[in-house]
Amino acid sequence: MSHFLFIHGAFHGAWCWQKTITELEKRGHSAKAIDLPGQGEDHTPLKDVTLDTMVDKIAATLAHSPAPVVLVGHSLGGIPISVTGEKVPERIKTLVYLSAFLPRDGESLLEIEGRNPKAVVPQSMVFDADRISGTIMLDKVRDLFYHDCTDADVAFASARLRPQALAALMTKVHLTEDRFGRIPRVYIECTDDQALSTEIQLDMIEKSPPVDVRRLHASHSPFLSMPDKLAEALSDL
């Protein structure tokens, strides 16, 4: 049995993982998901949300885990799970990147996205007047995130998306081989992803090779469209 902790991506919350958690529990694992600051049911003011506040919340959750966990990050979630690995490597069994940003030392999410030949998410956002947060245009949501999901799941998810604080996207990470580098890394590539292109997923894999690469023929949101296959891939780790 493994213990899983799930970290969602931008605009989302812990709610997006429930189907996958149910499937993992059927397979004898324990799993939970948390809201990052300012997302889901967490009402931290967006002006106070930073990469540090994200990492602090993940690390605080890990401190109460009975054993090292498989820490899974989706999309933006790859950034804070990496920095959490640097901060508390002894609390993490494996880092799993689900169509997620996999940074190298000194990189920010926006710098990685700048290499994306099909960078469509920034062009699909509207920003608040102070450029503290951004929101995905509703008419772009399905095509970007959920094109292989049911109408019911699209409606469920769309109603729960929230503005995303931008500060963490611009923050460069500090990672070392002695700490972050000692944790096994697995990348799950989503080969039909319209939000994080396969080209940039493969670019990150090549620049920071994980120990294992799995593939799902899925959109950006396999936790909704194929939670059974995602749980199977995670269980097989």
Q: Averaged over 46-57, what is the pLDDT? A: 98
Above 90 in pLDDT, residue 211?
no
Number of domains in the chain: 1
d(CA 218, CA 237): 19
State the CATH number of the domain containing residue 53.
3.40.50.1820
- Taking a C-beta distance cutoff of 8 angstroms, is the pair 99, 200 a contact? no
For range 35-60, the mean pLDDT: 98
Domain that includes residue 81, residue range: 3-235
Reported as a single tens digit per residue, the pLDDT across 63-106 is: 999 899 999 999 999 999 999 999 999 999 999 999 999 999 99
Q: Kind of pairing, strands 92-98 and 30-34? A: unpaired
- pTM > 0.75: yes or no: yes
Tell me the mean pLDDT in the region 1-29. Answer: 97
Of all residues in the chain, the percent with pLDDT exceeding 90 is 97
Residue-wise pLDDT for 108-125, tens only, equals 999 999 999 999 999 999
Q: What are the C-alpha distances in Å from 59 to residues 13, 37, 75, 184?
A: 17, 13, 19, 18
pLDDT surpassing 90 at residue 236 = no
Q: Both tokens of residue 172?
A: 């460069």
* Residue indicated by tokens 């602090």: 56
Neighbours of 203 (CB within 10 A): 16
- The answer to whether 195 touches 170, Cβ cutoff 8 Å, is no
Contact assessment for residue 20 and residue 5, using Cβ atoms and an 8 Å cutoff: no
Rounded (10°) angle between helices 18-26 and 227-235: 50
Structure token digits, residue 171? 């923050």
pLDDT digits (tens, 9 = 90+) for 164-185: 999 999 999 999 999 999 999 9
